[in-house]
Structure 1
Amino acid sequence: MGEQGATRRLSPRRWRILSYLAQHGSASTLDVALVFAVSRLTAHRDLVWLHEAGLVRRERSPEDRTHTWWYGVTAEGTDVLRRALTGSGRPVPLRLGQRSSGVADALLFLPLVEVSRRNPGRCELFQWLATMETSSWLRQHDLARLRADGYGVWLQDGRCLRFLVHVDRGPIGDVVAEHERPVSGLGGLLAGHRRADRLVPVGVVLLIAQDAEREDRLRADLLRRPLRNVLATTTEQLLYRHWPDEQVWQVPGRNGRRRLIEVGS
């Protein structure tokens, strides 16, 4: 199928899928079905069509027993998107087609989309910005030195919570002494906030620690040196076992874990 002929036959949903892959990195059929609120069969058909048109590539790991295909945009698909955006006078996102999947996407974005789907009218992930767009949003608020993994707006039971997300990448460096592992790299999560001279305009800053020990060290540091913003912590393990809107978040200085909508100021 020729590229020009393929692009003329792109439906609005396939344009959106192509754009999503270009801005969020790779995704599985299930991810696409979830984000675009379609059946897995419909998502599969759209992705296969885009693949056969040469606009997306697919690969799967030989070590993956589920044999899941992961799809990403090709150079041709990126060029098609860039030309379409430029021709319509819209801005071209930075690093279009060159982004890897964000950890915050897997831990928060996709699960909150699923929670929204299961509870229509009660819950909704109203907005989500991936890492690059979050950086742009921070610059607009004169917080250019602050780095974050995502920004979102969560609606639940008539309440609204705006949040910024930081994900703990674990110990920094190839060789880290065992006694240093619980704290190695944690300072970088908060460095931008400690340098900032203003509040981030969100209800809460979410910090996702790699494990429970690192979360405890993070909370202890926050109790010693509180930040301007309200912060809430959790762990990757808790987010793998529970939905992120549930009682998995701790606010330093307060007892017990709270629901996401309850942690804001």
Structure 2
Amino acid sequence: MGDQDAARRLSPRRWRILSYLAQHGSASTLDVALVCAVSRLTAHRDLVWLQEAGLVRRERSPEDRTHTWWYGITAEGTDVLRRALTASGRPVPLRLGQRPSGMADALLFLPLIEVSRRNPGRCELFQWLATMETSAWLRQHDLAQLRADGYGIWLQDGRCLRFLVHVDRGPVGDVVAEHERPASGLGGLLAGYRRAGRMVPVGAVLLIAQDAEREERLRADLLRGPLLSAVATTRRQLLYRHWPDEQVWQVPGENGRRCLIEVGS
């Protein structure tokens, strides 16, 4: 099937799948089902159609015991999407079709979409910007020195929280001394805010640490030198066990943890 013929036959939902893969990197069938608010079977059928049309590819790791297929957009799919955006007068995002999957997507974006699905009318992930769109948003606010992994607007029970999120990648560099590992790379998460020297136009800055020890180091750093913006920390293990809107966020100086919507209050 030629890509022009495939483009003519694309439904709005399949366009959305192509756009998601082009801007967020690879995704599983479950991820696509969440983003498009359809069943896994429907998402599977759409992905198979797109694959047979040459617009997406799929692969899985031989080490993965779940045998999960991961889908990504092909060069042909990227070209089809780029031409469609240009023809409609819409801007073409930077590095379309060449973006790696982001940890913030897996830890916050997709789980918050699922929470929204489970609680219609009560809560909603109203907006989400991936890393590159977040960088553009920060430049518009004269905060180009910041490098956040995502920006979101969370609505719950009539309240609104705008947030930036940063994901700790762990120790920086190939060779890091054992005694330096708990703090290696953490300073980079906060340096941009301290250089800015002013409030960032969000209700909270969310920091996701790799583990409990690194989260403790982050909190100690924030107590020594607080930021002007409200900050809350958590760690990956908590987000693997709980939904991100639950009581998994800790404000430096407090003992307990808050729900997401309470972080900026």
TM bucket normalised to smaller: over 0.9
Q: Residues 3-24 of structure 1: CA distance to partner in whole angstroms, max 9, x if unpaired?
A: 1111110001101110110000
> How does 1:96-245 map onto structure 2 within 5 Å?
96-245=96-245
Instruction: Report the counterpart of residue 66 of structure 1 in structure 2.
Output: 66
Structure 2 residue ranges without an equivalent (≥5): none
Q: Secondary structure at the match of 2:117?
A: helix
Deviation at 1:198, TM superposition (A): 2.2
Q: 2:4 aligns to what SS in structure 1?
A: helix
Deviations 1:38-92 (A, max 9, x none): 0001000000000000000100111111111100000000000111111111100
Letter in 1 for 2:258: R
Kept after mapping to 1: 8 A contact 2:197/2:228: no
Q: Find the residue that maps to 1:251 and give its secondary structure.
A: coil
Question: Which segments of structure 1 move beyond 3 Å, counting only runs of 4 or more?
Answer: none
- Give the 3-state SS of the residue equivalent to 1:207 in structure 2: strand
SS in 1 for 2:126: strand
Indicate yes or no: 2:13 matched with 1:19.
Answer: no
The secondary structure found in structure 2 opposite 1:198 is: coil
Question: What is the alpha-carbon distance in structure 2 between the residues aligned to residue 237 and residue 96 of structure 1?
Answer: 31
Cross-structure match for 1:36: 36
Q: What is the TM-score with the length of structure 2 in the denominator? A: 0.99
TM-aligned CA deviation for residue 209 of structure 1: 0.4
Structure 1 Cα separation of the partners of residues 18 and 220 of structure 2: 44
Question: For the residues of structure 2 that align with 1:26 and 1:190, how far apart are their CA atoms?
Answer: 29
How far apart in 2 are the matches of 1:183 and 1:2? 52
Deviation at 1:178, TM superposition (A): 0.8
Question: Partners in 1 of 2:26 and 2:156 — Cα distance?
Answer: 29
Amino acid across the alignment from 1:23: Q
* Residue of structure 1 equivalent to 2:262: 262
Give CA deviations for 1:118-175 in whole Å, capped at 9, x if unaligned: 1111110000000000000000101011100000000011100000000001001111
Distance 2:170 2:142 in 1: 28
Structure 1 residue 233, shift from structure 2 partner = 0.2
Q: Give the Cα–Cα distance (whole angstroms) in 2 for the partners of residues 52 and 200 of structure 1.
A: 46
SS at match of 1:30: helix
Instruction: Specify every segment of 5 or more residues in structure 1 that has no aligned partner in the other structure, as ranges.
Output: none
| CA distance in 2 between partners of 1:197 and 1:77 (Å) | 43
User: 2:250 corresponds to which residue?
Assistant: 250
Partner Cα distance (2:239, 2:199) in 1:
27
SS where residue 243 of structure 2 aligns? coil
Which amino acid letter does the alignment assign opposite residue 167 of structure 2? V
Task: Report deviation, 1:197.
Answer: 3.0
Give the Cα–Cα distance (whole angstroms) in 2 for the partners of residues 131 and 25 of structure 1. 11
Q: Structure 2: how far apart are the matches of 1:254 and 1:237?
A: 20
Residue in structure 1 matched with residue 89 of structure 2 by the alignment? 89
- The amino acid across from 1:235 in the alignment is R
Q: Percent same amino acid at aligned positions?
A: 89
Report deviation, 1:193: 0.5
Cα separation, 1, equivalents of 2:91 and 2:4? 22
